[in-house]
Structure 1
Amino acid sequence: MERMFVVALLLLTTHAVLAIAAGPSVIIVGAGFSGISAAKTLSDAGIKDFLILEATDHIGGRIHKTNFAGINVEKGANWVEGVNGTEVNPIWVMANELKLRRFYSDYDNISSNTYNQEGGLYGSSEVGKAIEESESIHSDGEKLSARLPPSGRSDISILTMQRLKNHVPTSALDMVVDYYSYDYEFAEPPRVTSLQNTVPLPTFARFGESVYFVADQRGYESVVYHVAHQFLSTDKASGAINDPRLKLNKVVRHISQSSTGVTVTTEDGSVYKADYVMVSVSIGVLQTKLIKFEPDLPSWKILAVYQFDMAVYTKIFLKFPYTFWPEGTGTEFFLYASERRGYYPVWQQFEKQYPGANVLLVTVTDEESRRIEQQSDEETKAEAMEVLKKMFGPNIPDATDILVPRWWSDRFYKGTFSNWPIGVNRYEYDQIRAPVGRIYFTGEHTSEHYNGYVHGAYLAGIDSANIMIKCIKHGFCKVQIKDKDS
């Protein structure tokens, strides 16, 4: 009887150990670049019992290609930004390793390609003068920014800086130059964008001012797969990821924690348990009710989340039966100056990137993005065509196809990337990144210097994972947040 009891106890203990070993120690919510980067960092540290839950049918998040009129184009991130500087952008390294097709974006001739609202080109000298004045004010802003205390308490908006310099763009030309200088980069206007954290911009100050447009049929998402393939198993024949630790189409709706672990529940009713969870959803999603936290996140965390802006950057692609716009050196980018600020302002043609495709790209942001997302594609095409006819004449052909991404309307993103709010410094970034018990956070919005960028997402994943590793492996679980004024 005693021997039977010992055997039974041994079997029970063995089953318990196996049950614990079978469950992941870490659940990662989201397979965007930050989530994948965090998972790889954990894997490299020997923490391989994790599970990645992704709401969509693919990894990469806002780095995602789609087929449009026979070619693959990027719905979201499109550029490697910050190249040829003193430091090397890690995304540029990956792009080179993968031999992605990428093209230097040359904006130098924009003064010769700016169109009047009523039709025809502005004189290049007139546009050049407006650009020079804008750049001069920007340089003054850099000097002012350098004098502001690091706490961020004296931070001002870019627009406030412009007002201090008696330069508030009001004409159609000045507004489109202003839009091109700021909104086109940050997806929000100067009135809401921080001066202290964007002038100068760390990405360009550290990695270089060159930007390269990715136009590879494998997709910019190749960089995400490049990282994923280094730690997730793949099918040898197709190269597709078949690792059971990655689960697609799993919409996380509930995260609860206790002193002993976390429980994650998905929309389909599946329940997963682990020791820790890493949340890598966008700041836009954190600001919605998609995921319920139990107990509720503390007030300091909620305040930090809601201080950040989730901007909307919309790239609208238009396909035509033939080319009617200028081609050749110095014609890739052109502007449309409207009295309605941000109305179909920045255009790009793809003579080099997609030869023979006859495709144009127009970028809109912020309020115009939200407005356009709520109307039909046919209405948007009609508006874009009206603008193009003013620029190139009434006899141009109608677009045959249009692609309008709807990031703001998508409940899994609620926008495209975070923007620098006024008055935010490392203190707020430490708060938004800081764990709450067993719940950790990552994403491009947690990158103090590179939020909004692909390299910011990648580096943020590494950073947040290392914070978790210190806790799991070394017991250093309390994250120190420096005082606001330090």
Structure 2
Amino acid sequence: MANMKRGILAVFIVHIVFGLDLSKTMALEQTPTVIIVGAGMSGISAAKTLSDAGIKDILILEATDRIGGRMHKTNFSGLSVEMGANWVEGVGGSEVNPIWTMAKKLQLKTFYSNYDNLSSNTYKQSGGLYEKSVAQASYDIADQQTELNNNISLSLSAHRDEDISVLTAQRLGNNVPSTPMDMAIDYYGHDYEFAEPPRITSLQNTEPLPTFSNFGEDVYFVADPRGYESIVHDIANQFLSTNNASEYTDPRLKLNKVVREIRYSGSGVIVKTEDGSIYRAGYVMVSASIGVLQTNLINFQPDLPSWKILAMYQFDMAIYTKIFLKFPYKFWPSGNGTEFFLYCHELRGYYTIWQQLEKEYPGAHVLLVTVTDDESRRIEQQSDSETKAEVMEVLRNMFGNHIPEATDILVPRWWSNRFFKGTFSNWPIGVSRYEYDQIRAPVGRVYFTGEHTSENYNGYVHGAYLAGIDSANMMISCIKKKMCKYQVMPKGT
């Protein structure tokens, strides 16, 4: 009877402190050890790692109506296409990319992306193709600059010198792109990978890139009806229960739960969601994107320490927008060596990178064009019909006025979505390993994970997966071994 009174009193206190409607408040009798905020790749990877370590009393709160996060398929004119992550990047090297292993296990349909013939598929702003020899000369200069960039980066690291931007390295090589073709090739070499321009991107932390140095330089495009997200589902299915329809029935996963407040102290955490529910736990693992952490969606009480906020705010959440277009028939070149083509416009990044998807979706007559950064923000704020008009003008500049009108268009809007605020993180100039360790560091019982916390692979799916494991292991050491101190290496080491 005394225990019951104490339980009633606890709920009453919560009601007074938070001012909540008790009818919407979760019963607090079953308190999990860990609450995980977000069911994307990192959140699910962390949850499985905790479960494998015997910490099974977890609760996953996901803001959307699905798991997978920025790995998300959708139907486009009868095809399953990827709104977010689309490639397994880093294949064929001395180490095996864990995502490639999982993709092969599930027998996902993947297609090797061959960029080798771009010099034969580089288009003027108007008037068709450049001569291959003319284009190849510019590609050769860009390759020489990349080699110089790598050497400069390795020298800076060896001497423990301060970081510089990729653009600064280009200036040192007396090779700052200025013509439409040079800017397009530069965009392909940098923005297409990092979603931000060389003037922003860190040299030391992107060249050479560990993803390709460690896992190999090959990349594979995922075009499977089950979606790239099926890898996340496969991980989740190893510890979450489902019904015969493969729907999650596990009470430890709650969808449509938008976390708005995290209260933390030395004794535990209390998490409040937008619908007024509250959840209590010993620890919380936050897998929200760095873009979300830079907004006020989640209110931390007390405020996160200033060193943590400053570190998070210095990192970049980039925007990478893949626009799909369907046509009544094919009017572009096809066959070997024609998969990718570049459009060279006086405005850098204006519908520059194109991919024809005849190999991935035979007979579907679909093109994919990629934009990033400011162009992504601009396009997200205009109508799809305006975007389609711009795209059709570009295609007519490349292929002539006789081409048909696109019958359908898909424009993802990751930046506008309050649950993501972009697509992946980019390492900007000015952020060192010291600030990066601070981004990864827990604050008391609040832990952080996500691709932005991956030590070597931020911005990649494998980075998200490995970060979830890494962050969970830090938490496991604290819970099971009482080893809770996180060591941030001194600046400059």
Q: Same fold (TM over 0.5)?
A: yes
Contact 1:151 1:485 in 2 (8 A): no
CA distance in 1, matches of 2:458, 2:340: 25
**Using the alignment, how far apart are the partners of 2:146 and 2:447 within structure 1?**
37
Q: Give the aligned CA root-mean-square deviation in angstroms.
A: 1.6
**Most deviating of 153-162 and 447-456:** 153-162
- Tell me how far 1:152 sits from its aligned partner: 7.0
2:197 corresponds, among 182, 186, 189, to 189
- 2:195 counterpart letter in structure 1: A
Output one character per residue of 1:445-474: Cα deviation in whole Å (capped at 9) or x when no partner: 001210000000000000000000000001
How far residue 150 of structure 1 moved from its aligned partner, in angstroms, is 6.8
Tell me which amino acid in the other structure corresponds to 1:458: Y
Shift in Å, 1:485:
1.6
- Tell me how many residue pairs correspond in the alignment: 476
Distance in structure 2 (CA, Å) of the matches to 1:62 and 1:150: 36
| Cα separation, 2, equivalents of 1:363 and 1:408 | 15
TM-superposed deviation, 1:149 = 3.6
Q: What is residue 341 of structure 1 aligned with on the other side?
A: 348
> 1:320·1:397 contact (CA, 8 Å) conserved in 2?
yes
Between 239-248 and 151-160, the greater mean CA deviation after superposition? 151-160
Question: Equivalent of 1:148, from 147, 151, 156?
Answer: 156
Partner residue of 2:106? 98
Partner of residue 284 from structure 2, selected from 249, 254, 277 = 277
Scaled by the length of structure 1, what TM-score is found?
0.96
Corresponding residue for 1:286?
A: 293
Task: Indicate yes or no: 2:255 matched with 1:248.
Answer: yes
Within a 5 Å distance, the mapping from 1:286-305 to structure 2 comes to 286-305=293-312
Instruction: Look up the equivalent residue of 1:278 and give its one-letter code.
Output: M
Identity %: 70
Q: 1:352 maps to which residue?
A: 359
2:268 to 256, 261, 264: 261
The answer to whether residue 434 in structure 2 is matched with residue 433 in structure 1 is no
Partner of 1:384: 391
- Return the alpha-carbon distance in structure 2 between the equivalents of residues 385 and 398 of structure 1: 7
Q: What corresponds to 1:164 in structure 2? A: 172
Does the 8 Å CA contact 1:66/1:74 hold for their aligned counterparts? yes
TM-score computed with the length of structure 2 as normaliser: 0.94
The answer on whether the counterparts of 1:152 and 1:423 sit within 8 Å (CA) in structure 2 is: no
CA distance in 1, matches of 2:355, 2:487: 46
- Residue of structure 2 in register with 1:71 after alignment: 79
Residue 227 of structure 2: aligned partner: 219
> What secondary structure is seen at the aligned counterpart in 2 of 1:477?
coil
Ranges in structure 1 where 5+ consecutive residues have no aligned partner? 1-7
State whether residues 311 and 418 of structure 1, in contact with CA within 8 Å, keep that contact through their aligned partners in structure 2.
yes
> 2: CA distance between counterparts of 1:50 and 1:308?
29
* Contact residue 153 and residue 423 of structure 1 kept, 8 A: no
Query: How far 1:416 moved relative to its partner?
Result: 0.4
Change in Cα spacing, 1:151 to 1:247, as seen in structure 2 (3 Å) is: farther
Q: Are the counterparts in 1 of residues 260 and 298 from structure 2 also a CA contact under 8 Å?
A: yes
Residues 285 and 169 of structure 1: CA distance in aligned 2, closer, same or farther (over 3 Å) = same
The one-letter code of the counterpart of 2:63 is A
CA distance, structure 2, for counterparts of residue 404 and residue 324 of structure 1: 22
* Partner residue, 2:23: none
- For residues 126-164 of structure 1, what are the alpha-carbon distances to aligned partners after superposition, in whole Å with 9 as ceiling and x for unaligned? 111111100101101111111114797611000110001
The CA distance in 2 between the partners of 1:83 and 1:425, in whole Å, is 27
CA distance in structure 2 between the partners assigned to 1:484 and 1:134 by the alignment:
33
Alignment correspondent of 2:117: 109
1:288-336, CA deviations, whole angstroms, 9 ceiling, x for partnerless residues? Answer: 0001000000000001101100000000000111111111111100010
Deviation track 1:25-69 (CA, whole Å, cap 9, x = no partner) reads 110000010000000000000000010000001101000000001
Provide the rounded CA distance (Å) in 2 between the counterparts of 1:327 and 1:152.
48
Contact in 1 for aligned 2:157/2:204 (Cα 8 Å) = no
Distance 1:13 1:284, change over 3 A: closer
Aligned position for 2:241: 233
The 3 A distance-change label for structure 1 pair 478 and 398 is: same
Aligned to 1:84: 92
Contiguous gaps of at least 5 residues in structure 2: 11-26
Structure 1 residues 45 and 397: alpha-carbon distance in aligned structure 2, compared to 1, 3 A threshold: same
Q: Does residue 132 of structure 2 align to residue 124 of structure 1?
A: yes
Specify the alignment match of 1:4 in structure 2: none
Contact 1:429 1:447 in 2 (8 A): no
**What CA distance in whole angstroms lies between the structure 1 residues aligned with 2:88 and 2:116?**
18
